Amino acid sequence: MLGYARVSTGDQDLRRQHDALTSAGCDRVFEDKASGTRSTADRPGMAALMDHARAGDKIVMIELSRAGRKTSDLLAWVEELDARGIGLVVLNLGIDTATPGGRLVLTIMAALAEMERALLIERTRDGLAAARRRGRVGGRPRALSDEQVALARSLTAQGTSAAETVRLLGGVCSERTIRRVVAG
C-alpha cells in the first residue's frame, strides 16, 4: 500500500499523517506541502505517487481532503485510479474504492468537501464585507499617501528620476513603487 500525506502550508507538520499511514500498513508515503486547491498534477508528491503506483496497488490517505478540495478534480483523479486498477482507501471514513459502496460514499463525501470549502469562502467574504461596512480596511497598507502619490507624479512629470523622487519623499518607498504609482 502507498500512502499520501498533504498539508496546505510549509509550517504545518506531516508527522501525524505519516504515522497513521505507516500504522495502516503503507510501505511508502508520498508527501506534499501544497494547497488542496492545486491540481493533483501540480503537486510533486502526488505526481511521484502516480508515477510509482501500479495496477493492484492501493493509495491510502487519512482524510479525503488530503487528495483535493474540488469535487471535479477529485472525481477525475479517482476515475484515473479506477482506469489504472489502483484502489483508494480513506482511513477516517472507512472508504475503500475497491467496493461499489466505497465509490458511492467517496463521491458524496467529495461533494460535501467542496461545499464546505465554498461555504468557508462565502463566510470569509461576508465577514470581510461586514468589517468594511464598520470602517475596517483590510489588506496591506499603502506605501504612499494620496499627497505623496500626487507629488511623485508631479516630480516625474517635471523630469525627476524615480531614484531622486524616492530621495525627495524621504526614502519611504522603492523606485519600483514610484514607477508603479506614476504609471497607474
Residue 124 lies in a domain: no
> For the segment 92-123, what is each residue's pLDDT rounded down to a tens digit?
988 898 888 887 887 787 787 778 888 999 99
Q: Would you please indicate which residues are annotated as catalytic (active-site) residues? A: 8
CB 2 within 8 A of CB 30: yes
Q: Retrieve residue 72's grid coordinates.
A: 471535479
pTM: 0.57
Q: What is the CA radius of gyration of the chain?
A: 25
Residue 12 lies in a domain: yes
Residue 50 lies in a domain: yes
Number of domains in the chain: 2
CATH number at residue 100: 3.40.50.1390
Of the residues 102, 119, 136, the one at which a domain ends: 119
Residue 134 lies in a domain: no
Report strand pairing: 58-61 vs 2-7: parallel
pLDDT over threshold 90, residue 164: yes
Across 36-56, average pLDDT = 87
pLDDT over threshold 80, residue 144: yes
pLDDT of residue 40: 67
Percent of the chain with pLDDT over 70: 98
Q: Do 72 and 26 share a structural domain?
A: yes
Residue 126 lies in a domain: no
CB 176 within 8 A of CB 169: no
Domain ranges, residue 166 = 146-183
Strand partners, 112: none
Across 67-76, average pLDDT = 77
Q: pLDDT confidence of 90, banded at 50, 70, 90?
A: very high
DSSP label at 145?
-
Q: pLDDT confidence of 9, banded at 50, 70, 90?
A: confident
Q: Do 158 and 93 share a structural domain?
A: no
